[in-house]
Structure 1
């Protein structure tokens, strides 16, 4: 009985202590997690619930970490001390925290502590350590890493480290991931990472490294060297396969294609924003010059194995040519980006068919020639060709792409072929236009800014295009059947900045059309007749519209949600239904309402006001009187003419009778 009473007393005391801790502490307790962040604390609270596993003390004013306070919380697994003012750590303070796995000391003043040249002591169970943003210089990180046997993830991001030597990580040999992003690293001593047998992820981006000539970390899976000053990257050839999957070399100064291992599993390679002139892998200027004169694909690139490569980005370089054999081993490549280079021609041949490619970006080059042989690019879905000089092409170029969905053809000089019966047989046609009909997978087409003169009839028949951009082609003529065949597929249409005076086609018969951009034209009317229209967003900005017809608004009101109408010379007094829409239909949003104005006549002068300020009884009164006067004058004139005619006829009859009475 006494034992039971003792047990009850212990439980009551524990509960009382917990309640007292919760009431007296400024922290928030959620089960076993305690949140003391952003409380302006200058010391760690001494009364927190027992058994806590996560303690968040971030964004406070803590300066010192001492054994007396922290040893109380030996059950903590996750300790967050981010963004304090910590400049002193009592050596050995973490030794008692045998359950501590995650320790965040980022954004403090640990450079002050490191200047004392004192080790922080053993980190017995810590697996993740964040020391980023502490102003640490070369060698300072050693004082935190000399006895961290369980450490797997380390962040030293945003410090001032200039060199990594071969003793930096000796006390943390279990490391798998190291983040050294955004330092000032100039040099990496030979062997600095070699003894880290489990290292798989290394981030050295945003440093000042100029050269990697002996890369031999064969177990590394991810290497980020972007935003350095690299001029050379060369791997050491080993007898074993490299496990590297991801290599990021973007934003460097590399003039030659990097020399990668023969045996590798590389899946992702980014070489964008470098100084690549070609894909020669020699790294030797003289050899490069000779190979320019006499290229043989296997001599230059054949020794490199890209059989696992899925992603290759070489955009924003100075590449002038890409021999098709360069791609001969890239059987599974899915994304190729060579945009913003100096290519004048590009071809895909059966020797390197790139049949795994889904996205090909050749935009913003100087392309004048483009060719795809039969049975190549059999998986291609998106083709980016904007910003080139393409004016002539094989008319059936895109018919050879059985899965093509997107054609980005803007900013070229292409013309659209008018389809004929022969299109079905896909017989070759003369160069000078491209056929966009009868491509059953095609969903997106942009021909903006191509100096197009005409969109012929049935231009897209047989191609279920959903998004069509024909904007910025001044003087464009649309055949009345230009969109024939798109009645049930087209959802987005852009015809802006084409100087259109009229629309030859009634867009309301495109029954799936939801978004229409007709801005920056010279339209005086928008005839819509089909009440099955689905238009939800209509942009009519900057046209010559005086009146929105009653029938047009009747068609639009059923589905319209957004309307842009600014910069049109609207009449205040002949747009009654539009005024009702503006003022009385909240379901239609007019985002540019502040710039929607109209004109009315006052004392023979045209006055412009915002459409919301129109009061018909007031602003249209003078116009109504003027109209009435005109009607009266016209009616009076007509009446006078009729009277004169009647009088003339009567006089004429009397004269005839008078003359007849004197006949002999």
Structure 2
């Protein structure tokens, strides 16, 4: 018998998503006893978990087992006699053996020939016989990641019997070239080929001739050493690609342009080019070229729908930079160093629906930057985490299809001007906005508005501006400086959720101002008033909230609950009073809450007094419907020493 020896690989174990899910789901059921497998049923599969038990040979398992986990053991060889007949076995995992090397012999899996999933990954010094996988005609997924393999594994017929193979993972190995042998012509179902973290220097000419006529849903060539040769013919001729991932290669603008020119005409639906090396000069430098109108011109007939060039050094976006993508619908440029967008940068993107420019260095937004997109069906614009402090007049106009605008985490001091009639979701959190003037002019059709973490201070006028948005359903005003209210104006009446947490509403209501702010909110279902320094609740505060189901009053300074304050809350199901200095509780305040299902009374300051027996009785009478009350209810004994006790224990022993 002849074996092909692979060299060692120094690095981290790369675990595929199905393997991770497998391990996470099942790890909790391991017994920890050596040389003993734990059998259980997971998702209707009989699973034998034999992981990390120092096995050197296959242990005894139920003959009807369907999934067998043998990761992190001490196998040194898998031979044709290693497994007993396991005709029901479908999933077999032999990853990361601890013996230093692993030999897989001729027809090693002949007794488990019905498996559809095989994991041999993480065995850094793996030796494969050329006929190791012989007979595995039903195998669909094969993981050989981080196994110390070189390019010969693709060139010597190792996979010729795997006629059902759909996914082959060779990530994290030592492949220097990509030339699948003629036996790949028989692997008609292969659609996913993962080759990231190898040493592939180029893919050229006839290298992939035995994959012609195929559609590959994913070809992952990320983190290699790809460099296009000037005279290189198209390696993807007669191959269509769902996703081509060429991220984290040493691209320059010149080399990238040569590569895209070489593959001209190849149909690619999604192109990923994250961490694109030396493309773009970065901020404050000019020694490297940025993308130009010709960079992606070779892709103009490729039908690219999604392009991801995130996490790079793009600085200035020039005119027609992306004109090579006439079919583009999604453009992701997040986490670059973009600080200038020239007029016409997005020209030619007549199909664009999503544009992500988040985490860049933009300081202003000019009309010319977005003007070419006024004729596109732009649906989602992401500008969060820049430094935008000013938006030019008319910059946000004529984008008539825009429904989601994300301007979170910028430096805006006012609501940006514009007219966006289709806008439904507006995210303006983490800015410096002091009032909501102009919000209705931007869009009267908003349903979701986030103004959290700004500098809003006057509740009355804010309520009036928001009242001009008739269909507003979800409103986040948390973490502002709301501490004033001179007069409540007519506010939004269709709200379903309202977050007013982390403000200073106590300063408003203690002066008996704007206590009717929640009137006419008959449809409100969720109200968050936590962390507002509230010391008391106006008796009529919640009047009219007949649909309210969730009320959060946690982390305030409430000393008591007025008896009539919850009178209107007949639909309330969840109430949190956690982290308030309440010293006593009275049942009458809670009796109107006939639908209550969850009551959080943790971290209160109840004094251990016998008059709490009435509230304890109310809780016990409702244990079938009120969860979380009795288990969290504790009190403080003041004599002879300060000690925290279970309220139930105190009442039983002292009252």
What TM bracket, shorter-length normalisation?
A: 0.7 to 0.9
Question: 2:495, 2:128 → 1: CA distance?
Answer: 65
Paired position in structure 2 for 1:256: 316
Question: 1:611, 1:77 → 2: CA distance?
Answer: 56
| Equivalent position SS for 1:493 | strand
The answer on whether the counterparts of 1:319 and 1:341 sit within 8 Å (CA) in structure 2 is: yes
Superposition pairs of residues 395-410 of structure 1, within 5 angstroms? 396-398=438-440, 400-410=442-452
Question: 1:121, 1:549 → 2: CA distance?
Answer: 74
Paired position in structure 1 for 2:371: 328
Question: 2:608, 2:84 → 1: CA distance?
Answer: 75
1:123/1:372 CA distance change after superposition, 3 Å: farther
Q: Following TM superposition, by how much is the alpha carbon of 1:355 offset from its aligned partner in structure 2, in angstroms?
A: 1.5
Instruction: Give 5+ residue unaligned stretches, structure 2.
Output: 1-59, 281-290
Q: Following TM superposition, by how much is the alpha carbon of 1:364 offset from its aligned partner in structure 2, in angstroms?
A: 0.6
The answer on whether the counterparts of 2:518 and 2:541 sit within 8 Å (CA) in structure 1 is: no
Q: Following TM superposition, by how much is the alpha carbon of 1:442 offset from its aligned partner in structure 2, in angstroms?
A: 0.4
1:542/1:182 CA distance change after superposition, 3 Å: same
Question: 1:571, 1:438 → 2: CA distance?
Answer: 50
Paired position in structure 1 for 2:362: 319
Paired position in structure 1 for 2:104: 64
Question: 2:193, 2:148 → 1: CA distance?
Answer: 14
Q: Following TM superposition, by how much is the alpha carbon of 1:524 offset from its aligned partner in structure 2, in angstroms?
A: 2.2
Confirm or deny that 1:346 pairs with 2:391: yes
Which range moves more in the overlay, 265-274 or 78-87? 78-87
Superposition pairs of residues 179-194 of structure 1, within 5 angstroms? 179-180=219-220, 183-185=223-225, 187-189=227-229, 191=232, 194=235
1:90/1:500 CA distance change after superposition, 3 Å: closer
1:581/1:136 CA distance change after superposition, 3 Å: farther
Paired position in structure 2 for 1:480: 515
1:453/1:441 CA distance change after superposition, 3 Å: same
| TM-score, reference length from structure 2 | 0.72
Confirm or deny that 1:391 pairs with 2:434: yes
Deviation string, structure 1 residues 31-79 (Cα, Å, up to 9, x no partner) = xxx76664979334688699x9x96444278733536976996xx7957
Q: Following TM superposition, by how much is the alpha carbon of 1:199 offset from its aligned partner in structure 2, in angstroms?
A: 2.8
Paired position in structure 1 for 2:552: 517
| Equivalent position SS for 1:171 | helix
Q: Following TM superposition, by how much is the alpha carbon of 1:493 offset from its aligned partner in structure 2, in angstroms?
A: 1.1
Question: 2:591, 2:162 → 1: CA distance?
Answer: 76
Q: Following TM superposition, by how much is the alpha carbon of 1:361 offset from its aligned partner in structure 2, in angstroms?
A: 0.5
1:180/1:531 CA distance change after superposition, 3 Å: closer
Which range moves more in the overlay, 318-327 or 450-459? 450-459
The answer on whether the counterparts of 2:334 and 2:357 sit within 8 Å (CA) in structure 1 is: yes
Which of 72, 78, 86 is equivalent to 1:42? 78
Question: 2:90, 2:634 → 1: CA distance?
Answer: 60
Paired position in structure 2 for 1:657: none
Q: Following TM superposition, by how much is the alpha carbon of 1:249 offset from its aligned partner in structure 2, in angstroms?
A: 1.5
Q: Following TM superposition, by how much is the alpha carbon of 1:393 offset from its aligned partner in structure 2, in angstroms?
A: 4.9
Q: Following TM superposition, by how much is the alpha carbon of 1:244 offset from its aligned partner in structure 2, in angstroms?
A: 0.3
1:466/1:458 CA distance change after superposition, 3 Å: farther
Confirm or deny that 1:136 pairs with 2:174: yes
Paired position in structure 1 for 2:351: 308
| Equivalent position SS for 2:644 | strand
Confirm or deny that 1:196 pairs with 2:233: no
The answer on whether the counterparts of 1:446 and 1:468 sit within 8 Å (CA) in structure 2 is: yes
1:549/1:399 CA distance change after superposition, 3 Å: farther
| Number of equivalent positions | 549
Question: 1:433, 1:116 → 2: CA distance?
Answer: 67
Question: 2:459, 2:578 → 1: CA distance?
Answer: 31
Question: 1:443, 1:146 → 2: CA distance?
Answer: 60
Deviation string, structure 1 residues 414-443 (Cα, Å, up to 9, x no partner) = 355747xxxxxxxxxxxx986111422101
Which of 163, 171, 178 is equivalent to 2:210? 171
Paired position in structure 1 for 2:616: 579
Q: Following TM superposition, by how much is the alpha carbon of 1:89 offset from its aligned partner in structure 2, in angstroms?
A: 4.1
1:509/1:336 CA distance change after superposition, 3 Å: same
Which of 454, 476, 481 is equivalent to 1:451? 481
Q: Following TM superposition, by how much is the alpha carbon of 1:503 offset from its aligned partner in structure 2, in angstroms?
A: 1.8
Q: Following TM superposition, by how much is the alpha carbon of 1:96 offset from its aligned partner in structure 2, in angstroms?
A: 8.4
Question: 1:600, 1:87 → 2: CA distance?
Answer: 67
Q: Following TM superposition, by how much is the alpha carbon of 1:552 offset from its aligned partner in structure 2, in angstroms?
A: 0.6
Confirm or deny that 1:356 pairs with 2:398: no
| Equivalent position SS for 1:223 | strand
1:84/1:516 CA distance change after superposition, 3 Å: closer
Q: Following TM superposition, by how much is the alpha carbon of 1:367 offset from its aligned partner in structure 2, in angstroms?
A: 0.7
Higher relative contact order (CA 8 A, sep 6+): 2
| Equivalent position SS for 1:388 | coil
Paired position in structure 1 for 2:532: 498
Deviation string, structure 1 residues 180-228 (Cα, Å, up to 9, x no partner) = 3663435344547544332323443652434343134442111112245
Q: Following TM superposition, by how much is the alpha carbon of 1:460 offset from its aligned partner in structure 2, in angstroms?
A: 5.6
| Equivalent position SS for 1:609 | strand
Paired position in structure 2 for 1:367: 412
1:476/1:533 CA distance change after superposition, 3 Å: farther
Q: CA RMSD in A?
A: 4.0
Paired position in structure 1 for 2:32: none
Which of 135, 148, 169 is equivalent to 2:184? 148
1:189/1:514 CA distance change after superposition, 3 Å: farther
Question: 2:192, 2:229 → 1: CA distance?
Answer: 19
Question: 1:113, 1:208 → 2: CA distance?
Answer: 19
Q: Following TM superposition, by how much is the alpha carbon of 1:523 offset from its aligned partner in structure 2, in angstroms?
A: 1.8
Q: Following TM superposition, by how much is the alpha carbon of 1:384 offset from its aligned partner in structure 2, in angstroms?
A: 0.5
Which range moves more in the overlay, 450-459 or 399-408? 450-459
The answer on whether the counterparts of 1:536 and 1:560 sit within 8 Å (CA) in structure 2 is: yes
The answer on whether the counterparts of 2:120 and 2:144 sit within 8 Å (CA) in structure 1 is: yes
1:592/1:445 CA distance change after superposition, 3 Å: farther
Question: 1:68, 1:363 → 2: CA distance?
Answer: 56
Instruction: Give 5+ residue unaligned stretches, structure 1.
Output: 1-24, 281-296, 420-431, 621-664
Question: 1:404, 1:70 → 2: CA distance?
Answer: 63
Paired position in structure 2 for 1:229: 277
The answer on whether the counterparts of 2:86 and 2:112 sit within 8 Å (CA) in structure 1 is: no
Paired position in structure 2 for 1:278: 340
Question: 1:69, 1:100 → 2: CA distance?
Answer: 12
The answer on whether the counterparts of 2:251 and 2:278 sit within 8 Å (CA) in structure 1 is: yes
The answer on whether the counterparts of 1:154 and 1:175 sit within 8 Å (CA) in structure 2 is: no
1:246/1:571 CA distance change after superposition, 3 Å: same
Q: Following TM superposition, by how much is the alpha carbon of 1:525 offset from its aligned partner in structure 2, in angstroms?
A: 2.3
| Equivalent position SS for 2:184 | coil
Question: 2:403, 2:156 → 1: CA distance?
Answer: 56
Confirm or deny that 1:414 pairs with 2:456: yes
More helix per residue: 1 or 2?
1
Which of 497, 507, 526 is equivalent to 2:561? 526
The answer on whether the counterparts of 2:275 and 2:310 sit within 8 Å (CA) in structure 1 is: yes
Paired position in structure 2 for 1:609: 644
